[in-house]
Amino acid sequence: MVINLKNPNLYNNRELSWLQFNTRVLKQAQDESLPLLERLKFLAIYGTNLDEFYMIRVAGLKKLFAAGIIVSGADKLTPLQQLKEIRKYLHQEQQVLGHCMSEILKKLEHEGIYVKSYDEVNQHEKNQLNRYFNEHIYPVIIPIAVDATHPFPHLNNLSFGLIVKLSDNEDESIERFGIIRVPRVLSRFVELGNGTYIPIESVVAKRVEDLFPGYNLIEYASFRVTRNADMEIEEEEADDFMEILEEGLKLRRKGEMVRLEIGSDSDDEIISFFNQHTNVYKDDIYKFHTFLNLSSLWQIVGNKDFAHLLPAPFKPKSLPPFDNDENIFTTLEKQDVLMYHPYESFDPVVKLIQIAAKDNDVVSIKMTLYRSGTNSPIVKALMDASESGKQVTVMVELKARFDEENNLIWAKALEKSGAHVIYGIRGFKVHAKAALITRKQNAKLKQYAHLGTGNYNPTTAKIYTDISYMTSKDKITNDLTRFFHFLTGFSKKGKLEELYMSPTQIKPKILSLIHNETRKGKDGKIIAKINSLVDDDVIRALYKASQAGVQIDLIVRGICCLKPDIKNVSENIRVISILGKYLEHPRVFYFKNDASQVYISSADWMPRNLVRRIELLTAIKDKVSKEKVIQILKLQCSDNTLAHQLQSDGSYIKVKKGDAKSINNHKLLEDFVNKIAKATKKETNSSLQQLASRLFIES
């Protein structure tokens, strides 16, 4: 029987799959086994994720619908069908969200953390709040009358404030409406210093009559708006890419309004007033019984006085061969090193660039920067290197969404220091993570490389799991030289020999690797760890492999358009998603019958990564590094604590451990690395690296 693998019923919708991912984040907040502030943290992450989803994905669907374009993925849902499903899903989930929030806040009260309204505190605390209003809020808050002579104000993306209905002191029959904008410079909660937090709108509402003298407050409702934040940059018309990006950032704040969040105590008249000026579609208005802006919960989560309500912190370890004072270049000449962050510290990567910046024998440093973060020690080291006369070339991707402004600042600073800065490749986003250092050695040039699955960001490297691979192998460094030449110059081919680069090489290589396992039938085995799986061709190749009997384990954190466990199609495919203390971020692949077997990449299996971005795929041929990766993959496939398994209907069910031993891969890896770190302190012989690898693999 021939099955049509293009049948829409064989594919999950991308957007609905993403919503399932965010629901798994919400389930973490509902997990009573987690510490309370950890649960609150997941609520903050849920809210931040949803903001971005509406700003980008929903806004994009609205634009497609408005333009009358019927564009769909392999599932064939139209933009309008997707919008309807998204709204239905989110309105239903609001009830779960509200209940979860109330439960956590109630339990936090037993620990001394309170979220209260102005009316719920005692007189002494009210006096404190009044002083705070006079000294900190009143000077910066913005009361805006709205009438025939006062037009409705423009509200920037993620603007927060109050809608107020007022009556004239002298004639109560005269009613007016106003807006009070709460600037972002003000904290979301007023903290009283004793673990008590007051939502700022509760304080402002009590002083409305000071903001609108001569008027009495009848009713108010808090609100928050979300706008289209996806920038369209016409690169062909951009003589100065930095200048046009700066314009795009300004326009982002003024994009079309796509969502209105409003307090549940708002009446129809207030909503009607607001919406006649903003014209938000009724199903994109969400009433909240809790306070708005879940991402602001970080303010409470970050209270160091209650750190005991978070999981025990883990300090990343520098393991052999990076636990001594040996010159890092000497180390990399002896061996390749693969690290798994955040269990293994990101410090060696930072030190590699810092040491290169100071080393008189280093002649050049080349790097790609995507999300380097604020106060980046790596960027500062690159600036120092440039100022000391070294040739520094940096590809700063200015189109890294929501990091554009930060990247603009770094790009300008690097240029000022004398570095050669590239702002992107026309038509492509550069997402590859690579560094190349060239050093004089015995009258010759020797090169050292770092390739990673994550960003050059020491802060996120403590909370994201990622892989770093460091080597001085000539085949790889020579390819990286060609790679950077491709970025800085002109090339019609852009083809590498040892590495693989998208948009031309990675997808054909992945399809070839899958096909090779397919030919092996039941002797085939694939394990792939990725953030998202969307590409139709890759999914169909996996379906064919499954039909041939290949055993396939997919560890997909977020979107997965593939449907597992469909008879005669995907019965041999298992898909899990792991959510826990750390954000799973690596792209790692194992193909049993391939000569190299193990690959790491910056690219997910999505069309944008495989055909619209500059990405890198690296084979891990070093035996110790390869075994380390395989064991990590096997451990994650065995996880029965943090893993959720994808069902054929698109839903997820938490993996049941039954009578089996509990396997929490995050906790086990922390324990493994602590064990290695303690063991190496006692070890005095030259086999420290072998010891670390053995413990990491066998523990």
- What is the Cα–Cα distance from 181 to 179, expressed in whole angstroms? 6
The structural domain count of the chain equals 3
Looking at the fold, whether 445 and 509 belong to one and the same domain comes out as no
Q: Is residue 54 part of a domain?
A: no
Q: Which residue has the tokens 């693989």?
A: 500
Looking at the fold, whether 505 and 467 belong to one and the same domain comes out as no
Looking at the fold, whether 589 and 569 belong to one and the same domain comes out as yes
Query: Which residue out of 154, 308, 431, 515 is catalytically annotated?
Result: 431
- Of 251, 282, 309, the position where a domain reaches its end is 309
Residue 653 one-letter amino acid: I
CATH code: domain of residue 301: 3.30.1840.10
Looking at the fold, whether 144 and 233 belong to one and the same domain comes out as yes
Q: b/e map of 518-545 (b: 16 or more CB within 10 Å)?
A: bebeeebbbbbbbbbbbbebbbbbbbbb
- Of 488, 517, 543, the position where a domain reaches its end is 488
- What is the Cα–Cα distance from 456 to 461, expressed in whole angstroms? 8
Q: Is residue 295 part of a domain?
A: yes
Phi, then psi, of 467 in degrees rounded to 5: -115, 135
Longest dimension (CA), the chain: 92
- Note the pLDDT of residue 252: 41
Q: Which two tokens stand for residue 623?
A: 């035996």
- Note the pLDDT of residue 324: 86
Looking at the fold, whether 526 and 632 belong to one and the same domain comes out as yes
Looking at the fold, whether 176 and 253 belong to one and the same domain comes out as yes
Looking at the fold, whether 442 and 505 belong to one and the same domain comes out as no
Q: Is residue 399 part of a domain?
A: yes
Q: Is residue 6 part of a domain?
A: no
Phi, then psi, of 257 in degrees rounded to 5: -75, 125
Q: Is residue 692 part of a domain?
A: no
- Note the pLDDT of residue 680: 63
- Note the pLDDT of residue 234: 39
Reduced to 3 states (helix: H, G, I; strand: E, B; else coil), residue 291 is: coil
CATH code: domain of residue 412: 3.30.870.10
Looking at the fold, whether 401 and 431 belong to one and the same domain comes out as yes
- Note the pLDDT of residue 282: 87
Q: Annotated catalytic, 431? A: yes
- Note the pLDDT of residue 173: 82
pTM: 0.90
In this structure, is the dihedral angle defined by the CA atoms of residues 222, 15, 246 and 350, taken in order, positive or negative?
positive
**Which residue segment(s) compose the domain that 474 sits in?**
328-488
Looking at the fold, whether 164 and 297 belong to one and the same domain comes out as yes
Looking at the fold, whether 216 and 296 belong to one and the same domain comes out as yes
- Note the pLDDT of residue 413: 83
Asked whether 271 and 285 are in contact (CB, 8 A), the reply is: yes
CB atoms within 10 A of CB 267: 12
- Note the pLDDT of residue 243: 45
Q: Is residue 50 part of a domain?
A: no
Looking at the fold, whether 452 and 520 belong to one and the same domain comes out as no
Residue 659 CB partners (closer than 8 Å, separation 6+): none
Q: Is residue 285 part of a domain?
A: yes
Q: Is residue 481 part of a domain?
A: yes
Residue 129 one-letter amino acid: L
Q: What is the mean pLDDT of each run of 10 residues along the chain (699 residues)?
A: 92 96 97 96 95 90 86 89 95 93 96 95 95 96 86 87 90 88 93 92 94 92 86 40 43 69 83 85 86 92 94 92 91 95 96 97 93 82 94 79 60 86 81 96 94 93 96 97 88 81 96 98 98 97 98 98 97 97 96 97 95 95 94 95 96 88 93 84 49 50
Looking at the fold, whether 451 and 516 belong to one and the same domain comes out as no
- What is the Cα–Cα distance from 161 to 262, expressed in whole angstroms? 10
- Note the pLDDT of residue 397: 75
